Amino acid sequence: MNTTLIRRTIFGLAAGALAAGGLGSAAYAQRDPAYDAARSAGKVGEKMDGYLGIVGAESPDLRRLVNDINIKRRAVYAEKAQAANATLEEYALTAGCLAIARTVPGEKYQAPDGTWQTRTSAPPLRDSRCPA
Amino acid sequence: MKLPQLTLKGAGATFLPMQENTSGFIGGRWMAAIAMAGTAFLGGCITVNAPDKPIVIELNINIRQEVIYRLAEDAGNTIEENADIF
């Protein structure tokens, strides 16, 4: 009887750990394949203001994808900005600095002059206020 | 200004109490006026010209940069936690 109880307890703990692991991976979810493909193809790029922009020709599908991500980003920015006692724009601009810095070669980003640039191995052209 | 109640025998008082009587000499006001004119001629006055352009203190940029540096670490964590939308 005791062994059964111990086994059950162990099984319960293992199940709990799996569930927690599942939740953890959900929080660090990967990009949607369509979004990932659009990034790699240079159809979308990181803007200075912390949002995603369409580079070149716009299609309804692409617009939907970009709007969807930007709405989600805005919600995250708003929540985090409030917690950090900052404005939405300040937080979004900071995230934009970092998002541009994290682009990989081949992806598009917006330079301080407003033009779309393709990221190379060199550091991206960023706003002078961006942190190093 | 004459205040007859102040003088019983003489002519009406032309000066209030505490006011200096400078009769017989050049009046105080005239002295002051002459002194001011003199300094003006001697170039003792400091002239201040208004600038043509309004004075703008660019505090906005500094404040923003400070804020960005403060938020950088937090924003970096946010991007990592929301990797699906960044």
pLDDT digits (tens, 9 = 90+) for A58-94: 999 999 999 999 999 999 999 999 999 999 999 999 9
d(CA A120, CA A106) in angstroms, rounded, equals 6
Does residue B28 fall inside a structural domain? yes
Does residue B8 fall inside a structural domain? yes
Number of domains in chain B: 1
Q: Please tell me the predicted confidence (pLDDT) of residue B53.
A: 78
Quote the minimal CA–CA distance from B71 to chain A in Å.
7
pTM to 2 decimal places: 0.61
- Under DSSP, the state recorded for B52 is S
Q: pLDDT digit of tens for each residue in chain B (86 aa)?
A: 555 555 556 555 565 656 555 554 555 566 666 656 555 555 678 888 887 877 765 555 555 788 999 999 999 999 999 999 99
pLDDT at A118 > cutoff 90: yes
The CB density around residue A54, as the number of other CB atoms within 10 Å, is: 19
CB-neighbour burial class of residue B65 (10 A; exposed 0-12, middle 13-18, buried 19+)? middle
Interchain proximity A93–B68, CB inside 8 Å: yes
Residue-number span of the structural domain to which B11 is assigned: 4-42
| Chain A partners within 8 Å of B69 (Cβ) | 131
ipTM here? 0.76
Does residue B33 fall inside a structural domain? yes
d(CA A77, CA A29) in angstroms, rounded, equals 18
